[in-house]
Each structure stands twice: as structure tokens, then as C-alpha cells.
Amino acid sequence: MTIQFKTEFNELDIDAIVEVYHSVGWLGHHKDIVQKLFTASTHYVFAYDDHKVIGFARALSVACLMLLFMML
């Protein structure tokens, strides 16, 4: 197994990302939610095995969080 890491969000991976969420019990995440989550994120990294997403992490910057709170 050779794990590769990438920092670009590829919309073609949404199905695999949904599978990862579902594999850990986060069943409320579907394609539309995942699209919004990653579009709103400022940083992310994806782990691939054989060109398939097997894990990921995402984050928002402090400035982005402040803007979100100001919009509420």
C-alpha cells in the first residue's frame, strides 16, 4: 500500500469522500453537503490509496470563521 497525499479538492472524488464519512458512521453527509463543506474550507489534505480517497482532513482559517460569525 502506497499512500499519496494531495492538497487539491477534486469534485470527482465526492463519492469516495461520502464513502469515508459513511464508513465512520457520519451517515448524514451526502454529495451536496460534502460539496458545500469542502468549498467552504480553506485548507484540506486528502489521502489516496490506488487513486481512491481513503481519508482526509479539512479546516477553516480564523479569518473565515470570523466572517461566518459576522454573517449570523
The CATH number of the domain holding residue 14 is 3.40.630.30
Question: Looking at the predicted structure, is the pLDDT value of residue 72 above 60?
Answer: no
What pTM was estimated for this model as a whole? 0.78
Q: Which of 7-11, 24-28, 40-44 has the lowest mean pLDDT?
A: 40-44
Q: 27-69: per-residue pLDDT in tens?
A: 999 999 999 889 888 889 999 999 999 999 998 776 655 665 6
Domain tally for the chain? 1
End-to-end CA, the chain? 45
Q: What residue numbers bound the domain in which 32 lies?
A: 3-71
How far is the C-alpha of 64 from the C-alpha of 52, rounded, in Å? 29
- 26 contacts: CB under 8 Å, gap ≥ 6: none
Sheet order of strands, 3-6 included: 3-6, 43-49, 52-59
Per the CB < 8 A criterion, the answer to whether 39 and 58 are in contact is: no
Q: Beta-carbon neighbour count of residue 33 at 10 Å?
A: 14
